[in-house]
Amino acid sequence: MRIAVFDTKNYDIPALERAGKEKGVEFRFFEAKLGEDTAELARGYDGVCVFVNDDVNEKVLDKLHEMGVKLVALRCAGYNNVDVRAAYGKVHVVHVPAYSPHAVAEHAFALLLTSIRRIHKAYNRTRDFNFSLAGLTGFELHGKTVGVIGTGRIGRAFIDIAKGFGMKILAYDKFPAKDAGFPYVDLETILRESDVISLHCPLTEETRHLIGKDSLPLLKKGVVLINTSRGALVDAEALLEGIKSRVIGAACLDVYEEESDIFFEDVSGHIMEDDVLARLLSMPNVIVTSHQAFLTEEALSAIAETTAENVVEFFRDGVSKNELCYHCGKIDSCRSARLGKCF
Ligand code: NAI
């Protein structure tokens, strides 16, 4: 089993090599992202392994199919960058549905605490021997209301942490869990009543710009918005408006709507073309990390192991439990997807 790994970063390689050696999968690493211009690199491989910003559109899938590539193995949970419908009948798609929800939930909290206790400012100050506390007054989480949108694996891990801080939980999910141990409310209540809002739902047509111009008038003044899910859940221009008008008190972003050519790369020697991102980064109350929430030793090992298992299982059995079913995309609740009967 020969798999071409696209958009490889140095930190991807050790865990994938280890898992590949254990399971008999040969991973070959390419720095290029998969797209129409680079699909040719996959010629002669049984499958491709891709990440969040590879563009696996219909043309790319047709090209892969024409070259005899049978599998697209996502080494991530989200799959909004793969046209799963276009893959139907041509190329099978597998993903890593869960690796470490704690990696992302803990990062969301790290961003939140950094923001509200001004740690980013204090860090820079003390390194410059400036020990003044002026402007560093924060606020406490205990007793505050946190609205969690999306209560899957990561959302629930986030809620567990928030409970530990003594926060009041409000949750919204299109498919609420039974016996959740926290109250579900409608989206408007979350927007109106939350001191902190954290996004943990997938990006779909329905959730695109979930936080946008229409949400701004509903938000509680000074709300802290955390997005560790997918950039386009938030309309970046509306976010900027919300911050400028002081409605949004702070934003903690691990993802950004137009991140694909910027995040994961060192563009420090270039002129920033994205004016909205540049303006957001200039705000003292905006913290941006570069889609880093997943990046723990534990998560990288789990991702590599599941990816190698997905490959082995698919080429051995012709199906994989982690296959994405184009009919509904819900691997947990769809029987045909679970049985690998999607195509
Ligand atoms: P999950 O599938 O366990 O949970 C997603 C939840 O969102 C489900 O409960 C689902 O019912 C809910 N949902 C679906 N449509 C919705 C809607 N229209 N409105 C409200 N809720 C809706 O997924 P998991 O593992 O918790 O991951 C959540 C997201 O986190 C992923 O979709 C991915 O985009 C993002 N992610 C980000 C990472 C990072 O490094 N920043 C790493 C891993 C995931």
**Do 12 and 31 share a structural domain?**
yes
Decide whether any atom of ligand 1 lies within 6 Å of the 82 Cβ. no
What CATH number is associated with residue 312? Answer: 3.40.50.720
Are 232 and 201 contacting, i.e. CB atoms less than 8 angstroms apart? no
Is position 259 annotated as part of the catalytic site?
A: yes
**Do 169 and 30 share a structural domain?**
no
The per-residue pLDDT for range 238-247, each reduced to its tens digit, is 999 999 999 9
**Do 168 and 192 share a structural domain?**
yes
- The pLDDT score that the predictor gives to residue 335 is 58
**Do 120 and 267 share a structural domain?**
yes
**Do 259 and 187 share a structural domain?**
yes
Is position 206 annotated as part of the catalytic site?
A: no
* pTM attached to this predicted model: 0.89
Q: How far apart are CA 141 and CA 87, in angstroms?
A: 45
Largest CA distance in the chain: 64
**Do 206 and 91 share a structural domain?**
no
Q: How far apart are CA 52 and CA 59, in angstroms?
A: 18
Q: Give the position, in ligand 1's atom list, of the atom nearest the Cα of 154.
A: 26
**Do 75 and 111 share a structural domain?**
no
The per-residue pLDDT for range 216-243, each reduced to its tens digit, is 999 999 999 999 999 999 999 999 999 9
Decide whether any atom of ligand 1 lies within 6 Å of the 294 Cβ. yes
Domains in the chain, number: 2
- The pLDDT score that the predictor gives to residue 245 is 97
Give the domain extent around 319.
2-99+296-339
**Do 77 and 33 share a structural domain?**
yes
Is position 291 annotated as part of the catalytic site?
A: yes
The per-residue pLDDT for range 55-69, each reduced to its tens digit, is 999 999 999 999 999
- pLDDT confidence tier of residue 89, bands split at 50, 70 and 90: confident
Tell me which of 92, 257, 259, 305 is the catalytic residue: 259
- The pLDDT score that the predictor gives to residue 334 is 63
Q: How far apart are CA 117 and CA 23, in angstroms?
A: 45
